Structure 1
Amino acid sequence: DESSDKPGGKRRLLIVIAAVILLVVGGIAAAYFTGLMQPIIDLVLGKHQAPEPQQAAISSQKAVFFPLEELVVNLNTGGRKSIYLKIRVSLELSNADDIPRIQSVMPRIMDNFQVYLRELRIEDLKGSVGMYRLREELLARVNAAVAPAKVRDVLFKEMLIQ
């Protein structure tokens, strides 16, 4: 190995090895911080256990549903023919004690929903992706309005586009 006897050859080899180690460590760190390694870590540490059926039934019974008033808004059509959205949702709460808080800020919740829904376009509501985004946006807006109370989910009871 004449190339390894050269001072530049050993230096180049050390740089390549250091770069590979840096890439591997960076990849592991990225996987850890994005949560991709969490199932593996839980499995190794023994934390990953399926909930017992009895516990799952008890936790689902604790949910409280709070229906909201029906909303009818016209969607953003950019000046074309008016398109209306009629929507009825229920809020899933983890604690019945949060109902008075929800009722006390109901005007704020309805205003947040109205303002957001009026800016939607028909394309925003197409497909399951559109429904998912709508659910996530409504959930974020209602949780901002009712804090410190917590809404688990926004459930669609009715949705009609006309």
Structure 2
Amino acid sequence: MAEATTEIEEEAPKKASKLPLILALVLALGGGGGAFFAIYSGMILGSDEAEMAGAGAEATKPFVAPDVAFIALDPMTISLGRASEGRHLRFTANIEVPSNQEDNVRKVLPRIVDVLNGYLRALRMEDLEDPATLVRIRAQMLRRIQVITGPDAVSDLLIVEFVLN
């Protein structure tokens, strides 16, 4: 009987120690914290003072305005169709053009207003209510203007007023 108990005791598996797992976790947290502190304090990957000194040197240069002109478009009020229940869009914008192209763009200004009016009239109410779509709408209008004037004649479209009422 003594032999049977020794065999059972020998066959029982030993429990694995959790000490290596705990030690690895503590070392990982300590290393992560140390790395964060080193990067945050500027010991690694440069310091904020060096970046600020470089930015200060650039800030002392005088601002030179680009050679552009702005052509103001007349304010437009666009009715938004049946689904919008009589709502209107009030739209005002400026067109940024190189100074040497200002006269050429002014000659085709009625075409530009016509294209913008047609595009804005075709928009759905859902398109206008989402603030994120304003960037897409602006890009679409700029592209339509550049089709009329040519890609080098108009630099940008600056929206001054975009109000739904």
Mapped pair 1:73 → 2:87: no
Superposed displacement of residue 62, structure 1 = 2.3
Superposed displacement of residue 97, structure 1 = 1.4
Structure 1 Cα separation of the partners of residues 126 and 113 of structure 2: 23
CA RMSD of aligned residues (A): 2.2
The equivalent residue for 1:132 is 135
Query: Any gaps of 5 or more consecutive residues in structure 1?
Result: 1-51
- The amino acid across from 1:100 in the alignment is D
Q: Deviations over 1:85-106 (max 9, x none)?
A: 111000112x111111111111
Structure 1 Cα separation of the partners of residues 123 and 131 of structure 2: 15
Normalised to the residue count of structure 1, the TM-score between the two structures is 0.59
Contact 1:90 1:157 in 2 (8 A): yes
Normalised to the residue count of structure 2, the TM-score between the two structures is 0.58
The equivalent residue for 2:89 is 85
State which structure, 1 or 2, has the greater radius of gyration over its C-alpha atoms: 2
- Choose the corresponding residue for 1:145, options 143, 148, 162: 148
The equivalent residue for 2:164 is 161
- The amino acid across from 1:141 in the alignment is R
- Choose the corresponding residue for 1:61, options 45, 63, 66: 66
Structure 1 Cα separation of the partners of residues 151 and 139 of structure 2: 18
Runs of 4+ in structure 1 off by over 3 angstroms are 52-55
Superposed displacement of residue 116, structure 1 = 0.4
Contact 1:77 1:83 in 2 (8 A): no
Contact 1:76 1:120 in 2 (8 A): no
How many residues align? The count is 108
